[in-house]
């Protein structure tokens, strides 16, 4: 069920027990749903799964997300694979944080240089 407000093309979406490929809305509320790509100013999610989320404010409870870009994330008993947000609160389990991403990048760069040096010495 979606509620549309045509003034300024802002829309609010409420998704329950559904799967959605892409959702763009001013505000979105998810309950027991899955969304592949989500762009919204404010998102609330309960018992849901999200792929890539671009938002200002995300509040999630017992949900999972792949990649989250936001200004403020509040998560309770939730998991996020890659979280990029300056303010985070709640009980969130981030798999890849910004320091871990930098460490992966440095490790990749170092391994490439080491491998290139090893192959140059063989010649």
Other CB atoms within 10 A of residue 67 CB = 16
d(CA 17, CA 88): 27
Q: How many CA atoms lie within 13 A of 55 on its CB side?
A: 31
d(CA 116, CA 91): 42
Label residue 10 by pLDDT band (50, 70, 90): low
Q: pLDDT averaged over the chain? A: 86
pLDDT digits (tens, 9 = 90+) for 66-105: 999 999 999 999 989 888 888 989 887 777 777 888 899 9
Q: What is the pLDDT of residue 64?
A: 94
Q: What is the pLDDT of residue 1?
A: 46
| 38-50 burial: b if 16+ Cβ within 10 Å, else e | bebebbbbbebbb
**Stated pTM of the model:** 0.70
- Which contacts qualify for 65-68: CB closer than 8 Å, 24 or more apart? none
């Amino acid at each position: 069920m979606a509620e549309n407000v045509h003034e300024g093309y802002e829309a609010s979406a409420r998704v329950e027990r559904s799967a959605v490929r892409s959702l763009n809305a001013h505000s979105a509320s998810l309950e027991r749903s899955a969304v592949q790509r989500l762009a919204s100013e404010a998102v609330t999610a309960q018992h849901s799964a999200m792929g890539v989320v671009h938002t200002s404010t995300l509040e999630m409870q017992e949900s999972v997300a792949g990649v989250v870009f936001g200004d403020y994330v509040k998560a309770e008993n939730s998991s996020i694979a890659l979280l990029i947000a300056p303010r985070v609160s709640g009980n969130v389990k981030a798999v890849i944080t910004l320091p871990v991403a930098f460490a992966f990048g440095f490790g990749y760069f170092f391994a490439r240089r080491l491998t290139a040096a090893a192959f140059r010495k063989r010649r």
